[in-house]
Structure 1
Amino acid sequence: MAKQGDIEEQNFEEISVPINRLHFYPQNPRREPMADEDAIRAALCADEGVINLAKHLSANGLNPLDRIAVIAHPKLPQHFVVVEGNRRLCALQLLRDPERAPSASAKKIFAKLQNDGTPVSTTIAAVYFGKAETARTWMSVKHEGEQGGIGTVEWDATQKTRFNRQGTTSQVRPKNPNMQSLALLDYAEAKGLLNTEERGKIAITTITRYLSNPNVRAALALLTAEDLTTDADPQQFDAAMRRFLLDAIPTGDPNVIPPVSSRTTSSERKAYAEKLRQDGIAPTERGAPPYEPTPKVEETPEPNKTTVAKKRGKRSPDLRPYVVRTDFRDVSGDPALSRMVIEGKKLRADDFVFSANYIVRAILERVVNLYAKRNGIGVSRDLEKLITACARHAESRTQPAPRAIVQVMNKTASNQHASHAPDTLGAGVHGGIIPSAKDIRRNWDTLQPVFEWLSTN
């Protein structure tokens, strides 16, 4: 062990100290100054959770990520004062000698822990400082908050929940209540129902408050209170979740409370669930075998199959029977758009060319208007002008739309002869031309990336 006088004031050293040579720090910030060690021990047991700490130490030992800090005792040679770690010192003392506990009930508890748990070592690893002032820098880092990143950065509710999902600990604790909410937020972001900026505005505890209500879970087609297991149509499930999460984003106006807010009662949350049903947001196509939705991960084709995969992609627009491709997911949360997409996936273009053409035109108009409304662009009866305005807005965002998306939007708005332009689609609606099923499917394939981007931004 290092000699006490060998350490300069600005240095510290790791040492091993006998527990029976350690003493409490009279000026501990946790309480008013107190010199009597028995009184300090009683206060720690009564107010500082020492018994629970002792139970954990008895089962697991000392935390290897956290050392106690000591200075030389001012009067007793080769003895030390613990400036950091008084709760641990108290727990260790009483695990070694339960008779020093301040009450009869505490003595019984520590005696049982001593008998059942891991024996306490006679020595403890510590960091020795020449003076208490030298240790203050590190005590401040540990106890005085984040300090702009200098101190310990506490986990927020989302981070704690994510840690809990990664595995168990030796501590017996209740299930983290935010587990289902984190699963939903992770799924929504990965699936594109929310972007990162939108997710950052949502309080996970608010989502938990609503998902803990069985009426809300029923309206959202969640079958359990643990995860995202559902029996709903995947598209309707995604649309309902997007609407629910968007409703939880603060408006930015302190006087306007969003539809999903922490400042609600149980009856108000029940009313919200009913409104989801009335608005046609709650999934209605139920009865599928229960499954837990996960974001679709694109598989990387094997090298010798790349050419084959590309050929299949080129043939698919002309071969599929339906207007709307099955891989299209409407995440707008808009009931009218959701209904159109569902019907579009069942509408055979070869058999109903006018209806198929009309639904492409109607979805185009609805998606553009929803984007314009959501982003404060305004409304216009002239769809071409509105598409142009949306294209400019999409291009000027902090994270602008891909160039290919903007190009399709500009061509749709400006080239009246393009088969996917509003005028051309409208001519088919009004009987001016007879569209072909092949063109209808190709128009959809041209516009789908635009629909997907506009619906998620």
Structure 2
Amino acid sequence: MIPLTSLLVNTENPRYEMVSSQQEAIRLMIEDQKDKLAKLAEDILNNGLNPSDLIMVTPYEKNESQFVVLEGNRRIVALKLLNNPSLILEKHKSLYRKFKQLSEIFIKNPIVEIPCIIFSDEKESYKWIKLKHTGENDGIGTVSWDAQQKARFEERMEGKAKYSLQVIEFLKNQNNVEEDIKKRLKEVPLSSLQRLLSDPDVRGAIGIEIENGKVVTNLEPNEVIKPLKRIINDLLREDFTVKQIYYKDDRLNYIESFTKNDIPNKTKTLKQKWELISSPPFDKIKDEKVTVKQKSKPISTKRKTLIPKSCIIPISSPRVNNIYRELKDLDLDNFCNAGAVLFRVFIELSVDAFIEKYKLPINVDNDKLYKKVQVVSEYLEKNGLLDKNKLKGIRTSVSNPNSIMSINSFHSFVHNRFFAPIANDLKLAWDNIEPFIITLWNQI
């Protein structure tokens, strides 16, 4: 233990050119480090000095009671400034004020003596100082953690589980993820993956949610894997940069580029949500006879557009796809009439495309929409593509003469100048039929 007053700042600190006095050495450190010194001082006040990283010193040849600091000069300067803020020159007013405030706390419980390790021969310290400051040195020095290793430490020691790391760990443990992808998971830039997963619209598109910091889903594992594999493969591409997903619009455009094989089938759900980092035995969940009570998901009308940004549908017809994109961009508060008519057109063209694809027994040109929907719904239910609960929304919408999607309402939108659509009603209608429309285009 050596008194702070007996420790001399190194005038030959490798960080800087040599100087001739203590005062110059301290001022040079202040010029270079500025606010970093204040943050270091504050950390020392809060946590003390790092006990695993002792100050290295050697006896001062001109005075046996003093010691020159070989390693730890920043910490010693921070302590000296806490003890005497007036060492800071007038031109650094902001830094002086910070240290003045910190000093008032410091003097109430000052650090008077510093734990040090003494090297009688300065040369003996060189090996250890060099190893500390010159990198890994082929494994002899400190091997730095990469982003994923840092995230694991935070998760295990501090309880902070990043969404990105949860996804990485999930993919590592999945048998149907290719080995070449698993081997490269450690190369995935966590910051970019975290940026995507932090966007609620992206999460909605790929079928995951965040609950209490955990990534959860009610989809079958294979369906979750599809979009995650696409994202991982893209992030590993050499030509893929963070600029492509930096802003909200960029991320939405990126998700829109997903193909049918990249998008989860959201009709393949389990009875309850599960965490990606602690996958349950799914076969047991499927066979479970106990009904799991879930909170009903509130229908959102806060969005401005008819179709939520998070809803991604791979539409093979160029014209219908353009209508779909317009309905995701059109502000219903300002263009409700246009949205209502376009909505109706989008539904009918989607149903017609399915009928033509599977050659269903109905005339797309002459039969009414409710009859077309009836035929398509029966086909979907019969072939196990949608159950009756998820078909209820579309069946009710087209069969009810007062529904905004009935032929009566549609004619009123077009011909009756006193009959106007309501934006929230249109959004609610979309939420009710979304599973139906998604299933159609997934099968076309």
TM-score bracket, shorter-length normalisation: 0.5 to 0.7
Percent of matched pairs sharing the same residue: 26
Equivalent AA in structure 2 for residue 293 of structure 1: L
- Give the structure 2 partner of residue 148 of structure 1: 138
Name the CA distance, whole Å, in 2 between partners of 1:288 and 1:30.
61
- Give the structure 2 partner of residue 7 of structure 1: none
Which blocks of at least 5 consecutive residues in structure 1 are unaligned?
1-15, 170-175, 300-312, 321-334, 336-354, 357-457
C-alpha distance 166-23 of structure 1, shift in aligned 2 (>3 A) = same
Does 1:136 find its partner at 2:126? Answer: yes
Displacement of 1:294 after TM fit? Answer: 3.8
Does 1:184 find its partner at 2:174? Answer: no
Does 1:200 find its partner at 2:200? Answer: no
Name the CA distance, whole Å, in 2 between partners of 1:179 and 1:193.
23
Contact 1:229 1:293 in 2 (8 A): yes
Name the CA distance, whole Å, in 2 between partners of 1:143 and 1:221.
45
Displacement of 1:153 after TM fit? Answer: 1.3
C-alpha distance 55-247 of structure 1, shift in aligned 2 (>3 A) = same
Displacement of 1:151 after TM fit? Answer: 0.9
Name the CA distance, whole Å, in 1 between partners of 2:199 and 2:158.
26
Contact 2:163 2:194 in 1 (8 A): yes
TM-score in terms of structure 2 length: 0.54
Match for residue 115 of structure 1 among 95, 104, 122: 104
Name the CA distance, whole Å, in 1 between partners of 2:230 and 2:190.
16
C-alpha distance 166-77 of structure 1, shift in aligned 2 (>3 A) = same
Displacement of 1:120 after TM fit? Answer: 2.6
Equivalent AA in structure 2 for residue 47 of structure 1: D
Name the CA distance, whole Å, in 2 between partners of 1:221 and 1:184.
13
Name the CA distance, whole Å, in 2 between partners of 1:295 and 1:244.
21
Does 1:264 find its partner at 2:244? Answer: yes
Name the CA distance, whole Å, in 1 between partners of 2:253 and 2:67.
63
- Give the structure 2 partner of residue 273 of structure 1: 255
Deviations 1:140-182 (A, max 9, x none): 110000001111111111111111112349xxxxxx8x92111
Match for residue 54 of structure 1 among 41, 46, 56: 41
Equivalent AA in structure 1 for residue 151 of structure 2: T
- Give the structure 2 partner of residue 216 of structure 1: 202
Match for residue 86 of structure 1 among 70, 73, 76: 73
Match for residue 25 of structure 2 among 26, 31, 40: 40
Displacement of 1:205 after TM fit? Answer: 3.4
CA RMSD, aligned part only?
3.5
Displacement of 1:75 after TM fit? Answer: 1.9
Name the CA distance, whole Å, in 2 between partners of 1:18 and 1:220.
60
Name the CA distance, whole Å, in 1 between partners of 2:278 and 2:234.
22
Aligned residues: 276
C-alpha distance 193-22 of structure 1, shift in aligned 2 (>3 A) = farther
Displacement of 1:248 after TM fit? Answer: 3.6
Name the CA distance, whole Å, in 1 between partners of 2:85 and 2:139.
41
- Give the structure 1 partner of residue 11 of structure 2: 26
Name the CA distance, whole Å, in 2 between partners of 1:128 and 1:134.
10
Paired residues for 1:332-411 under 5 Å: none
Displacement of 1:201 after TM fit? Answer: 4.1
C-alpha distance 244-283 of structure 1, shift in aligned 2 (>3 A) = farther
Deviations 1:395-436 (A, max 9, x none): xxxxxxxxxxxxxxxxxxxxxxxxxxxxxxxxxxxxxxxxxx
C-alpha distance 280-37 of structure 1, shift in aligned 2 (>3 A) = closer
Match for residue 67 of structure 1 among 48, 51, 54: 54
Name the CA distance, whole Å, in 2 between partners of 1:201 and 1:23.
44
C-alpha distance 34-87 of structure 1, shift in aligned 2 (>3 A) = same
- Give the structure 1 partner of residue 427 of structure 2: none
